[in-house]
């Protein structure tokens, strides 16, 4: 029983981001939760991503006209909100019940700051290889490549005439990050309170070199990212064998070219060896509790329900997401895109755990670095310039 101040029903407010869960899922979850907790009135409010940072910070500071007891945030945003202040620490309770030992690393790590857990992983999404089955068959490729070298060899076969082996824009730094991690490199590291960009290490340079080899097996632009033009539009024309994207882009591709329906497949981004897929940048969401909530125990109960096997399974199957735990990978069997994504998620990573990383993405010195390398400039010098810019942003005072 969780009585409110008037001895009646207690209101608990949950903020979810637009597009994270379907209306059907939200209604089913709300009805079920209220039935199991008759003294709780659960209100779910959908929020827009645009401008959400200011709204969340206002809630955390207690200056917002509206309140929230549980908030969905991007997994890489947790550090920024911890720095702002006002997040409840969740380290000492719930972690065992929430299955923390099996959490995906790329979701769990950003939610843990200095050994304290502030964000509870909810769901993940990451990139896979989307491929044109007929073009693969025409090239005599019967099985999906599992290593980088197999991938390069297959892509070279596919790159002929007007057909592109792969469409890989020159500034897709999300994909580059995975190649760097596979080599044992990092985007940036922290030591003694000072951040240093590390694109100029041997490992990071090796990751960029592989990116350059793969990029050369198609006609992707040197100086644009995956949205300029949208790679789903390029792929929909039917002359591209592969793109690297979240599986959800298939719906956009098929809408643009219905003739491709049923002709597209998925496989995890290959790794350096066949024993595991390549590393990927894990996107997704964590759940946080404001320190000033008046309903902390109820807020914890809501999170416990959302990350339970029942509702993780429902969410993953409804939205084609990766569940928050490696032990739930089986729940997306039968969904080829989600299955490929789940396999890759086991090698998921997150961006550097700095509250200023968002500023790096906004100014993004990684993109011009990539273009410099792809257009023949000295990789080491370009990497050094980009690394210095990253370090300056991360270590500067606001």
- Max mean pLDDT among 45-49, 204-208, 224-228 falls in 204-208
**Domain spans of the chain?**
10-126+282-349, 128-280+356-395
User: How does the average pLDDT of the chain come out, rounded?
Assistant: 93
- As a whole number of angstroms, the distance between CA 104 and CA 108 comes to 6
397 pLDDT more than 80: no
pLDDT at 83 over 90: no
Give which of 73, 63, 68, 71 is closest to 13, Cα–Cα. Answer: 68
pLDDT at position 8, please?
Answer: 57
pLDDT of residue 398: 55
User: In this predicted structure, what is the pLDDT of residue 132?
Assistant: 98
- Given a cut of 80, whether residue 149 has pLDDT beyond it is yes
pLDDT given at position 2: 40
Tell me what pLDDT residue 93 has. 63
Angle at 57 (CA atoms; ends 53, 61), nearest 5 degrees: 175
For the record, the structure tokens of 305 come out as: 């329900």
Task: For residue range 160-186, list pLDDT tens digits in order.
Answer: 999 999 999 999 999 999 999 999 999
Grade residue 92 by pLDDT with cuts at 50, 70 and 90: low
CATH number belonging to domain 10-126+282-349: 3.40.190.10
The model's pLDDT over 285-316, given as tens digits with 9 standing for 90+, comes to 999 999 999 999 999 999 999 999 999 999 99
Strand partners, 12: 42
What are the tens digits of pLDDT across the range 34-72?
999 999 999 999 999 888 989 999 999 999 998 999 999
Give the CA count within 13 Å in the CB-facing half-sphere of 318: 18
Query: What's residue 234's pLDDT?
Result: 98
Q: Which of 74, 79, 10, 6 is nearest to 39 (CA)?
A: 10
Q: How many helices (H) and strands (E) does the chain have?
A: 16, 15
Domain spanning 128-280+356-395 has what CATH number? Answer: 3.40.190.10
pLDDT digits (tens, 9 = 90+) for 242-267: 999 999 899 899 999 999 999 999 99
Inter-CA distances, 165 with 140, 235, 337, Å: 13, 11, 20
Higher pLDDT, 107 or 40: 40
Predicted confidence at residue 297, as pLDDT, reads: 92
Pick from 352, 148, 141: which is nearest to 268 by CA? 148
CA 236 remoteness from chain centre: 24
Contact, 292 vs 32, CB < 8 A?
no
**CA separation for the pair 297, 12 (Å, rounded):** 10
pLDDT at 50: 82
Position 336 pLDDT exceeds 60: yes
pLDDT at 115: 87
């Amino acid at each position: 029983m969780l009585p409110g101040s008037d001895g009646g029903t207690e209101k608990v407010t949950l903020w979810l981001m637009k597009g994270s869960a379907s209306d059907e899922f939200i209604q089913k979850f709300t009805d079920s939760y209220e039935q199991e907790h008759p003294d709780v009135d659960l209100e779910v409010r959908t929020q827009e991503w645009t401008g959400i940072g200011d709204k969340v910070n206002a809630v955390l500071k207690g200056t917002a006209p509206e309140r929230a007891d549980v908030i969905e945030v991007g997994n890489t945003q947790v550090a920024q909100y911890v720095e702002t202040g006002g997040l409840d620490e969740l380290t000492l309770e719930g972690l065992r019940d929430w299955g923390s030992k099996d959490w995906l690393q790329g979701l769990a790590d950003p939610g843990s700051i200095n050994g304290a857990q502030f964000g509870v992983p909810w769901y993940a999404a990451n990139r896979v290889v989307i491929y044109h089955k007929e073009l693969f068959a025409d090239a005599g490729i019967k099985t999906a490549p599992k290593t980088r070298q197999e991938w390069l060899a297959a892509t070279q076969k596919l790159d002929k005439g007007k057909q592109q082996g792969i469409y890989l824009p020159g500034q897709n730094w999300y994909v580059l990050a995975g190649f760097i991690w596979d080599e044992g490199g990092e985007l940036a590291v922290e030591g003694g309170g000072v951040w240093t960009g590390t694109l100029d290490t041997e490992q990071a340079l090796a990751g960029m070199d592989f990116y350059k080899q793969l990029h050369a097996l198609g006609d992707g632009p040197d100086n644009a990212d995956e949205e300029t033009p949208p790679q789903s539009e390029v792929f929909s024309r039917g002359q591209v064998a592969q793109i690297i994207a979240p599986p959800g882009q298939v719906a956009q591709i098929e809408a643009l070219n219905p003739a491709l329906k049923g002709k597209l497949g998925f496989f995890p981004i290959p790794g350096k060896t066949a024993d595991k897929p390549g590393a990927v940048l894990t996107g997704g969401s964590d759940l946080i509790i404001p320190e000033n909530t008046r309903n902390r125990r109820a807020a914890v109960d809501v999170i416990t329900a959302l990350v339970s096997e029942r509702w993780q399974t429902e969410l993953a199957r409804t939205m084609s997401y990766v569940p928050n735990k490696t032990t739930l990978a089986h729940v997306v069997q039968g969904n080829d895109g989600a299955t490929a994504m789940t396999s890759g998620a086991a090698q998921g990573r997150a961006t550097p755990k700095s509250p200023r990383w968002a500023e790096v993405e906004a100014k993004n010195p990684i993109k011009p670095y990539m273009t410099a390398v792809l257009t023949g400039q000295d990789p080491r010098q370009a990497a050094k310039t980009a690394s210095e810019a990253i370090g300056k942003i991360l270590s500067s005072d606001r």
